[in-house]
Amino acid sequence: MGPGVPPGSIDRYEPRFLLWLWEKTDGALGVPVSSAGFGAWQSIPDGVVWAVVDRLRGHALIRTHGGPRREGHSEDVPQVSFEAAGVQQAHTLQVRRADPTERARYTRKAVLDWIFAQADRGPLRIEEFFDSAGIFFLGEALARGEVARAAAYLADAGLIDCDGPRFHDRVGSYVVLTQLGVDAVLTGSDVFQYVERQRERARPSGGPVFHAPVHGYVNRDLTVGGDLTIQQVLTPAELAELVAQFASALAPDTEQRAALLRSADALRLQGGDGSRVRPDQHQGPLERVRAALSGLPDTVGREMLLDAVGQTMGRLLG
């Protein structure tokens, strides 16, 4: 790393560089592009551009064209092109950048870390986050709605307090970390997994028991006697089956019902009983089920299923 390169900045710029190169070359191999364009786009000096290029070249993701580097000569910022591994990595980054679950996971942590870093200031306005480095996910700026949803999630989980004038929907403009939020940052955990562990600990011991006034469904884990009773934590496949079974009763709106059924199908297809995939691979499908349920009318049955989703997440990810 060259002189004057901020510590940690290279890690931030590496994925941006690969995605920028993809856009300039359409992912083609052997198409040289001047890396000066990346420096201008990111408003960074040549020394940082060189540090990024050297790192990516060292990982065999790109190659450089032209003579050796000469310190102090900006015209020597190299032309670069993709190696095969770089094309594959850039494609993976594109998929991640477009994935709502990845974006939500990043935004929650970015907002929480930003508030923690500003702890000596007050009052802190959430709008100031848009001027921070954390506003970019893989080089793309987060939308206002994404930041608002992350703040609402953190507030609902008890990690931050939001007060004052409205920022977006029910989210206030002034934000401050709670003690639980400080603990979440210091543990270094994924925010979602930390919250699920806290919810799991808060539940009574002795196994979950849920009741809801829905009828007509019986299997080895579910009994009906006027109420539906879930006596144990469900596997992802069992949860998907339950959601699909009661989609019509819980979601009278056609579009909401279709979204709920799609989320259940995605959970079912992710890996059945969980024996063929890592537990954390269920997180995205489970979050989509939870999001679909959260948008439904507030009924006892919906709350029962939301609790069941939380139990399954806690078991798999805790």
Angle between helices 283-294 and 236-245 (to 10 degrees): 20
User: Which fold, 9-97?
Assistant: Arc Repressor Mutant, subunit A (1.10.10)
**For 44, phi and psi rounded to 5 degrees?**
-125, 150
Burial 266-281 (b: 16+ CB within 10 A, else e): bbbebbeebeeeeeee
Task: State yes or no: pLDDT of 106 exceeds 70.
Answer: yes
* Residue ranges per structural domain of the chain: 9-97, 99-200, 204-317
Burial 99-137 (b: 16+ CB within 10 A, else e): eebebbbbbbbbbbebbeebeeeeebebeebeeeebbeb
Taking the domain 99-200, which CATH number applies? 1.10.10.10
68: cis peptide before it, omega within 30°?
no
Q: pLDDT tens digit string along 113-151?
A: 999 998 777 678 889 999 988 898 988 889 988 999 898
Provide the sign of the torsion angle of the four alpha carbons 225, 228, 231, 237, taken in this order.
positive
pLDDT of residue 84: 94
Residue 296 and residue 148: Cα distance in Å, rounded? 20
Radius of gyration (C-alpha) of the chain in whole angstroms: 24
Confidence of residue 287 (pLDDT cuts 50, 70, 90): confident
Both tokens assigned to 94 = 């594109």
Residue 262 and residue 269: Cα distance in Å, rounded? 10
Both tokens assigned to 122 = 């007050």
Beta-sheet pairing, 140-141 with 210-212: unpaired
Chain-wide mean pLDDT for the chain? Answer: 79
pLDDT of residue 234: 79
Task: State yes or no: pLDDT of 221 exceeds 70.
Answer: no
Enclosing H/E stretch for 116: helix 100-117
Tokens 């910022």 belong to 77
Q: pLDDT tens digit string along 177-213?
A: 999 989 989 988 888 888 877 877 766 554 444 444 4
Q: Is 165 exposed, middle or buried (0-12, 13-18, 19+ CB in 10 A)?
A: exposed
Contact indicator for 78, 66 with CB cutoff of 8 Å: yes
> If you count them, how many residues does the chain have?
318
Both tokens assigned to 149 = 């949803």
Residue 266 and residue 263: Cα distance in Å, rounded? 5
Contact indicator for 22, 61 with CB cutoff of 8 Å: no
> Fold identical between 9-97 and 99-200?
yes
Q: pLDDT tens digit string along 150-186?
A: 988 898 888 988 888 888 777 778 888 999 989 989 9
Contact indicator for 175, 124 with CB cutoff of 8 Å: yes
